[in-house]
Amino acid sequence: MSKHYLTALYAVVASLGSLSCVQSSSNDNSSQIQAVSPTDSLATAETVALFNRLYNGEKLLVGHQDDLSYGHSWYEIEGRSDMKETTGIYPDVCGWEFGGLELGDPVNIDSVDFNNMRKHMQETHRMGGINTMTWHSYNLITGNNCWDVSVNGVVSAILPDGPKHAQYLKWLDRFADFVSSIKDDNDNLIPLLFRPYHELTGSWFWWGRDLCSVEEYKSLWRMTYNYLTQEKGVHNLLYVYSTSNFNDTTLFFERYPGDEFVDLLGFDIYQYGEDLALAQQDFLKQLKLQADILSPIAKEKGKPWAVCEAGLESCLIDNWFTELGKVLAPTDARYILFWRNARDRENHFYIPYEGHSAAPDFKAFVDNTRQ
């Protein structure tokens, strides 16, 4: 399959817009390639192309949160990237965080200036990379950050008829304005993966499992999707539904808003625990379990799946990435995004920086994904 053929195929798909699923011609060698459309029937051509790239991708893409903005003990230095410095390549996927944007703050909750973020999203896109976003938005009842789970009812308060609904729409307006300002060199909107209300099987955010009902969660998602696509005319997003840990299909889909509101499936997964060897075994077992559950379902639904966040804080095991690769490489996960390397917290990093003892292992992991 030549790259040109793929580009042409994507262009055709894009021009067809609302086409749901087309098997490509069988009289050439392209029978494995399917042209697919994301949920938003008005998605831009570039967004459709990104969805197809992910759907038909074969290699595991490797991502890192905030990679171009800062890293272990540095901040906003042109061209720097912890991933580039350890592996020789910039991330395939760059993660960004919008928390703070809703309040009109110029800088996000992890000290990334939103103007720099826009610039880095453009750089990532220019290099052929993919941008993905989370939104740790503030708690609208208490005014504290998203980890304040002291009160139930934030979700119900922002749903239509709730006392905070109008204010929440203003937050979504700010969000819409920002994502509508992410444009490439030809003034086309850059497609973005949007992963709202994530880790929903846990209860550490105001939208978590114990903090709202199943129906409230689904309504929140659908309201967000409909408001952005229909009221705000935002058509450069692919919507990613990403849980935290789950042991069965029932839990994974308990709060799933529906196939027509979700483009990618995934989960966030971390290694925790003081006994490193034991914790690593548990982590790999859990990763395999979740991959085995999700992969066939994603295939059946015609949606790509990914490990949307992952890591072991401080990269404490020197062959951690190799062991991870053994579990992940045989799957059809489209990408894995490692969490951030904080510039100002010595131990808060999830990929090794240059000179770290796990750096060769991380490089080998990334090299393997290129073969």
Provide the minimum distance between the beta carbon of 244 and ligand BMA in the complex, in angstroms, as a whole number. Answer: 12
* Contacts by residues 80-86 (CB-CB < 8 Å, ≥ 24 positions apart): 82/341, 82/349, 82/351, 82/352, 82/353, 82/354, 83/351, 83/366, 85/353, 85/354, 86/351, 86/352, 86/353, 86/354, 86/356, 86/359, 86/362, 86/363
26's tokens: 């069988």
User: Which residue number, 136 or 222, has a Cβ lying nearer to ligand BMA?
Assistant: 136
97, 102, 216, 309: the catalytic one is 309
Q: How far is the CB of 99 from ligand BMA (least distance, A)?
A: 6
Question: Of residues 330-349, which lie at the interface with ligand BMA (CB under 6 A)?
Answer: 339-340
Of 46, 102, 199, 216, catalytic: 199
Which 81-110 residues touch ligand BMA, going by CB under 6 A?
A: 97, 109-110
Q: What are the structure tokens assigned to 319, written together?
A: 């062959």
Using a 10 angstrom Cβ sphere, with 0-12 exposed, 13-18 middle and 19 or more buried, the burial of residue 369 is: middle
| Separation CA 120–CA 126 (nearest Å) | 10
User: Is 58 a catalytic site residue?
Assistant: no
d(CA 116, CA 110): 13
Query: In the stretch 109-138, what mask flags binding to ligand BMA with x, by CB under 6 A?
Result: xx-------------------------x--
What is 141-173 written as a DSSP string?
TT-S-TT--SSS-HHHHHSTTSTTHHHHHHHHH
- Residue 67, interface with ligand BMA (CB under 6 A)? no
260 a catalytic residue: no
Residue nearest to ligand BMA (CB): 97
Q: Closer CB to ligand BMA, residue 22 or residue 109?
A: 109
- Please report how close the Cβ of residue 70 comes to ligand BMA at its closest, in angstroms: 12
Which residues in this chain contact ligand BMA in the complex, by CB under 6 A? 97, 109-110, 136, 339-340
Active site residues: 199, 309
